[in-house]
Chain A
């Protein structure tokens, strides 16, 4: 794993050791930061968030690339636990990097990265290794893109009722081979920690647009008359589609029934106060990025709102029962997958209270 995760870092200071201990790593980090500040007091340690990444050693380069491209949303201290199956000792490499030489009168942020090479045998007790390495009093988020459930459990639900090292879990529910299993797992984790789900963040622009469309006072009553919701999603993003529908179910007070599979389609119903709402999820092949491709909402009045992913934003089309139709573009630049990861890191400090109920509703759809 390359240890400098800051894009365009102009200077860094490195320490490394083989067969070392967490205490030695922590001491080295403290010295690196202090020395750097002493060298020039315009170097200031960033103090917003700890990020603990648990990755397979063989894919660590790919993860480093992803982290490097998250834009400005870098964690202050990143602890990368690079897992090699047979390893028995702990090696470490710590880097303190700054993105720019400080100009007179200004400061330059320092970000710290520690790559800790561990073996699978260390994972059940990973909290004991990581705990001394995170900055006390900052929120800590764990991201484990290659699985390693024992490591996540150790950090979030430590044995014996000990206080967890991580308070938040960053994950991506898209791409999981078994969606029901994925949702079950997230529901369980959500009992112990805040969840930031990249699959949920991909749904955010769609939620904003639906909220905005139905916000005018004369249109709000339509929310109570919705009769059908169709969601088209990337082949790997069924969970995002389920979360969007779960969100509508929760926010609008519907009672959902389990969806049934018809070939590639998932179909079902929910009960609203006024009647039945038909639900439909359809996969779309060859999408350029994970997430949703389109959402269509019909109401009893005969109006149809269709949102479609497009260049420069979402393309919206509204049709009325009398055949009138209107199209427009809702502006917004694509964040891209690196941007989504950056948003995920940022959202670890901005908990979204609507996620857990949407997740629970999505889970009921697959019961």
Chain B
């Protein structure tokens, strides 16, 4: 393992085998630093990185929001957010030091003074650190402000620097329609180069989502079966048992299709269907994912009814608690036609997957909270086990559960103990929680660190986002053109009966 002496001058031989690789000194600017996402996720993620010694040796935080706060008030507010939302009890000394030099720039995103202040504050931070800090601008704001902030960064010459990297992290949703996403991409890429842009889909930061790739490409037993010859269909489910809570303002504009299908669920589908990348570098992985998205033909207007179902929940009972229907939720307009449930049947038209239905469903106020991918194999060609007491030979189902119990299970037929040759389905289960000693980091911890490192593998590229919208856009347009309200399902149920039509007579949805 020794390093030849001549190499010591080129590489950094000290990084070999370290769990925490160095991250260049960075100033992180959070726009929307007093908002819900920052308080619940971003600031606690920064604390946990600091706790573990994973932040760069020079790290500076600058917050921006409209609230009038002093630096000191922002520091106190940030520390309070960590105490309330961190996954671990904070070490007060680390917490105090993390935010001790944090700066706050108040003002609205369209206000030139904000960016003029930033242009003053950031060089001061360089001066304090004694190095040119990389700059990461985190857009944790409402989406209508993304182009505003990006343009301001360009106008005030904050998007590039000679002696360090500048990166921009953009939260979801990236557009609400294809044309909007394209315009946003154009704006972003008129100011930044693609390699500087990190579009977040926090699902990709989840260990179990990354494990879809590990399962497929690190295990020889699956690959021979992973195609149209052996797989009957795929079901991807993201169900929630909660209603919309206090998010009516956002949710009624977005709906289930934009909120979860366009981003998270299509990402799961690409990971499941992509070809093995040459390596796991950002562009190799994303190239393969884009190929999957491009192989999904967007539906024509008259096809949408046959390949999609939209619905909303009515009052019902979830886990023993009576809950209101969507239209009775606080803040939802009486005439809303927003869907809280969306289901689609897609096909990936390529050599590997042609003809295999990929059905996706997501909904709120369903029976249970679960995120899973279920891959149902084709039945065996001949069934010899038809004896009395046999429950029949059913197709094998491989289920990749993302939450709550992250793991993999495979249903297989086994002989029921006794004198008869009777068969029943049993489960072979693997639970991530039982097999590893390490705890999974929060998705945002991983993603913030990756962005600071400049590793874009787990972020969405411009063509990927547009390819996702290319599939979803015609569905939104068709749904908007439909007269009448969406179908209905009772809160706490398995979802609308209409969803069954997507699977046809021979298949059924898995129980949520």
Contacts and interface: CB of A to CB of B under 8 A. Distances in A.
23 contacts: A48-B436, A72-B437, A76-B434, A106-B404, A109-B434, A211-B18, A211-B22, A212-B56, A215-B12, A251-B14, A253-B4, A253-B8, A272-B5, A312-B93, A318-B130, A331-B50, A331-B59, A332-B51, A332-B52, A333-B94, A349-B437, A352-B17, A356-B1
Contacts of A349: 436-437
Nearest to A351: B17
Contacts of A191: none
Contacts of B18: 204, 207-208, 211
B57 A328 contact: yes
A212 B22 contact: yes
A216 B53 CA distance: 18
Q: Say what secondary structure dominates the interface of chain A.
A: mixed
A121 interface: no
Given A331-B55, A345-B437, A224 B8 contact: yes
A273 B3 CA distance: 12
A206 to B, nearest CB: 11
A330 interface: yes
Given A109-B433, A208-B53, A223-B8, A331 B439 contact: no
A331 B52 CA distance: 8
A255 to B, nearest CB: 9
Contact of B14 (A49, A214, A272, A312): A214
B248 interface: no
Given A208-B20, A215-B15, A331-B50, A48 B435 contact: yes
Interface of B: 1-20, 22-25, 50-53, 55-59, 91, 93-94, 96-98, 129-131, 368, 404-405, 431, 433-439
Contact of B3 (A74, A105, A251, A331): A251
A210 interface: yes
Given A212-B23, A328-B57, 4 more contacts: A46-B434, A252-B3, A273-B8, A346-B437
Sort chain A's interface into a size bin. Answer: 35 or more
B91 A48 contact: no
Nearest to A360: B2
Interface of A: 44-49, 72-74, 76, 105-107, 109, 204-205, 207-216, 220-221, 223-224, 248, 250-253, 272-273, 311-313, 316, 318, 326, 328-334, 345-346, 349-350, 352-354, 356-357
Contacts, number: 151
Contact of B434 (A44, A272, A313): A44
Nearest to A326: B130
B438 A330 contact: no
A267 to B, nearest CB: 23
A313 B97 contact: yes
A76 B50 CA distance: 29
A47 B13 contact: no
Nearest to A346: B437
A213 B50 contact: no
A43 to B, nearest CB: 11
A49 B434 CA distance: 10
Contact of B53 (A318, A328, A331, A357): A331
Contacts of A312: 91, 93-94, 96-97
Contacts of B1: 250, 353-354, 356-357
Of all A-B residue pairs in the complex, the 9 with the closest CB atoms, nearest first, are A332-B53, A312-B93, A253-B5, A211-B14, A215-B22, A212-B22, A333-B91, A331-B50, A273-B5
